[in-house]
Structure 1
């Protein structure tokens, strides 16, 4: 697993020990960033089920100013911390060991607006629709922001959740990607 493009292109990232996390493959990561960017001139991101931190770190490498990383697993937390440090992104990162719902509530309370949110929850504990609803209800996205959902390709996410509208979707083998933005 590596950083694909940007300021840290080619940097090798550590994986979370064990089999509790499923890192996003380089092929899928490249496809995601081609769908949403591929580069940024500014912005704040949230990597909600961060695992190794690969998606958020890729976003920082491609120009995001700041990324908030959240994972509740201690091994994942330590791996993200190491990867952020190895890439020199400590000043641009916030890292929290927390579950997704509590993390979203805390971000809503802080009145943070996000340009990109990466949602890649464990496939067996699928709760993307309720997370999308919380993001919509909390008005977490900037006007031009978007949510990237990664799930099993056999899951069909709704076209509209609250004020969020699915704008793109693609399938890469067993992985499905859906991109949501604010409907106008």
Structure 2
């Protein structure tokens, strides 16, 4: 796995050798970023289930200003920190080690606001809706924030109140859904 484009392009990333995380493939990642618009002008990113940190790092590489990358798994946190170090731009990243709900509450106390949020949790269906609802309740999203939710092709998700589903991509056995925060 590697950083595909932007400032940190072509750097190979470390991955956790475990069944606990399943890294987003380069093919899915490239399609995902191509469909969002390849490059960006500032903003803040949250990757709530970081795994290797690849999505948050890719977003900053392509022009987002900062990324917060969270994971509950200690091994994943070590990999994320190694991958952030590869950027030689560590000040643009915050790495959190907590469960998703604790991370969201912590970020609310920090008055964080996000323009892009990646959600790729295990047992996706219930958790994605719960996370999206909590993001709104805690006022963690800027106007028109984009939520990118990745699931397997058997998971169906109802669009939570406060969001509009803007598009869906089927990429093999992966479905990526793009939601916009309603204003």
Same topology, TM > 0.5: yes
Q: Distance in 1 between matches of 2:125 and 2:145?
A: 25
CA-CA distance at 1:131 after TM superposition: 0.8
CA contact (8 A) 2:72 2:99 kept: yes
**1:41 counterpart residue number:** 41
How is 1:1-184 mapped onto 2 (pairs within 5 angstroms)?
Answer: 1-123=1-123, 126-159=126-159, 161-184=160-183
Closer, same or farther in 2 for the Cα pair 1:99/1:125, shift >3 Å?
A: farther
Deviation per CA, 1:135-169, whole angstroms, max 9, x where unpaired? 1222222113211000111112113x121111111
Deviation per CA, 1:90-135, whole angstroms, max 9, x where unpaired? 1100011100011011112222110100111124785111111111
Q: Distance in 2 between matches of 1:124 and 1:9?
A: 29
Structure 1 alignment gaps of length 5 or more: none
SS at match of 2:68: strand
Q: Distance in 2 between matches of 1:89 and 1:99?
A: 25
CA contact (8 A) 2:125 2:157 kept: no
Structure 2 alignment gaps of length 5 or more: none
RMSD: 1.4
CA contact (8 A) 1:137 1:162 kept: no
Q: Distance in 2 between matches of 1:11 and 1:41?
A: 22
Aligned length, in residue pairs: 183
Stretches (4+) displaced over 3 A: 123-126
Question: Which stretch of the first structure deviates more once superposed, 33-42 or 45-54?
Answer: 33-42
CA contact (8 A) 1:17 1:75 kept: no
Q: Distance in 1 between matches of 2:109 and 2:124?
A: 29
Q: TM-score, normalised by structure 1?
A: 0.94
CA-CA distance at 1:48 after TM superposition: 0.6
